[in-house]
Amino acid sequence: MKALITVQDNILTNSKLHITNNLTRKKDIFKPIEHNKVKMFTCGPSIYRRPHIGNYRTFLYEDILQRYLEYIGYEVERVINFTDIEDKSISEAKARGTTLEKVTNPVAERFYKEAELLKIKLPSFIPRSSSSINQAVKLIKILVEKGYAYWHGKDVFYDPLKFSGFGKLSGLDMSRWPNQKRRFRKDTYKGQRWNLGDFILWHGYRKGDDTNFYWETEIGMGRPSWNIDDPAIITKHLGYEIDVSCGGVDNLCRHHDYNISVIEAVSGKKFARHWLHGEHLLINGSKMSKSKGNITYLENLLTSGYSPGHIRFYLIYGHYREKMNLTLKKLERTSRKLDMFKKMVEKIINPKSHIKQSHRSADGLITGLREAFEQNMNDDLNLKGAFDAAYRNVTQLMTLKMNSQLTDHHSRRLKNLLIKIDEVFQVIYA
């Protein structure tokens, strides 16, 4: 739905967005490399298994960030990836006796459908790790030539001690680094502990390995590790310098510092200016896990009677940097709040008042709604504060409407403003 905004309601294109930057450990003014353009990378799903509702909480805060950057006037070039080559996807394919494509394609299709239901704005194309193998090889060759990486048998490892500032994102204490050489050959390791040693970049083919999971390249037959997948996709599609890198809080340990060390070692330049990480979604007070049997999917909430709009609202109605506890009771409460807000808006914008002069506070309430929205969103994407401020102002406007003190002009003005704001929220008119 499109609508023109009056001059009085134009957005503040010079508004100052502050976001918490995990690289600097403070709330920074957002400043992209180019004045009006933002390059943004957000970690996408590993498509050997379907995303759960906690994954969608991460994808949703990233969606809000993109939408708000566009709201304040930026052109956003965003890349999100599908990880289809990694130890876990290969193990899954072997266990099923099938191909990587037959494991990953259905998961990718489900992600597209569920993202559409939740109004998550995706790029027109999502690259897969398997489409960036040549770029991964290019990066590995440069890292070996520069001395950051080395061959060990048929594999290639990265030596973090060669990179000045390794672990700077997560705040790793390098004094803990062991004296003896250690290598970590798995793509990923459970938990949030650091692997204090060299990490793998390339899995070389060995006699007896299934050739279906390896590629013939300039550096021999093998496959890229998970640790080089993202850097390959990022540098291929966005370049070596970007403005924003996002993901879940789990990425703070190992993964994103690995990305920094790989890309910056190749380019010699700062990779990303701003780093954002979203906190966990708990289920009834506990972290989701197979052992607890509490992994929850979008489908589970839909079959419980909640609409995609209710679910989206719940997942964005809470600060992305704070843990959120999902219970059906809380979901019911936020759903009622959203429904009440939408009912008030529907009554206010209904142009049947025949009032020629409204109460003197009407203009201030509408202008204040916009200002409060932007003030809260500029404060580290405080969407909850932004919505609550809108709720308060709409409640007061509803009182004026019920008392026949609101003109059709103000109803139209509010409607146009909320249409613009809902380009970010995606819950009012969606």
Each residue's pLDDT tens digit, 367-387: 999 999 999 999 999 999 999
- Give pLDDT, residue 125: 96
Q: Are residues 73 and 161 in the same domain?
A: yes
Q: Are residues 261 and 334 in the same domain?
A: no
Give whole-number Cα distances, 367 to 18, 89, 275, 390, 405, in Å.
22, 52, 32, 11, 17
- Give pLDDT, residue 291: 86
Residue 183 has pLDDT above 50, yes or no: yes
Mean pLDDT for 286-304 is: 94
Q: Are residues 250 and 360 in the same domain?
A: no
Q: Are residues 141 and 263 in the same domain?
A: yes
Mean pLDDT for 411-427 is: 97
Q: Are residues 108 and 237 in the same domain?
A: yes
Residue 39 has pLDDT above 60, yes or no: yes
pLDDT in tens, 95-130: 999 999 999 999 999 999 999 999 999 999 999 999
The CATH number assigned to the domain holding 226 equals 3.40.50.620
Q: Are residues 120 and 269 in the same domain?
A: yes
- Give pLDDT, residue 357: 64
Residue 58 has pLDDT above 90, yes or no: yes
Tokens of 123: 């790029």
The number of CA neighbours under 13 Å toward the Cβ of 291 is 2
The total number of structural domains in the chain stands at 2
Mean pLDDT, the chain, whole residue set:
94
Residue 6: pLDDT band by 50, 70, 90 thresholds? very low
Q: Is position 52 within any domain?
A: yes
Measured distance CA(283)–CA(34) in Å, rounded: 41
Q: Are residues 50 and 187 in the same domain?
A: yes
Q: Are residues 265 and 357 in the same domain?
A: no
Full residue range of the structural domain in which residue 333 is found: 328-425
Tokens of 316: 């964005």
Q: Is position 286 within any domain?
A: no
The number of CA neighbours under 13 Å toward the Cβ of 272 is 29
Q: Is position 190 within any domain?
A: yes
Q: Are residues 193 and 340 in the same domain?
A: no
Q: Is position 106 within any domain?
A: yes
Which residues lie below 8 Å from residue 196, measured CB to CB, with a gap of 6+? Answer: 176, 177, 178, 182
- Give pLDDT, residue 405: 87
Q: Are residues 337 and 222 in the same domain?
A: no
pLDDT in tens, 254-282: 999 999 999 999 999 999 999 999 999 99
Tokens of 16: 């100052």
Choosing from 263, 278, 293, the residue where a domain stops is: 278
Q: Is position 5 within any domain?
A: no
Q: Is position 367 within any domain?
A: yes
- The per-type count for the chain, helices as H runs and strands as E runs, is 12, 15
- Give pLDDT, residue 354: 58
Q: Are residues 273 and 332 in the same domain?
A: no
Q: Are residues 56 and 138 in the same domain?
A: yes
Task: With beta carbons less than 8 A apart as the criterion, state whether 296 and 52 touch.
Answer: yes
pLDDT in tens, 216-248: 999 999 999 999 999 999 999 999 999 999 999
Measured distance CA(257)–CA(227) in Å, rounded: 10
Choosing from 278, 302, 319, the residue where a domain stops is: 278
Choosing from 278, 294, 315, the residue where a domain stops is: 278
Residue 353 has pLDDT above 70, yes or no: no
Which residues lie below 8 Å from residue 203, measured CB to CB, with a gap of 6+? Answer: 155, 185, 214, 222, 223, 224, 225
Q: Is position 120 within any domain?
A: yes
Q: Is position 321 within any domain?
A: no
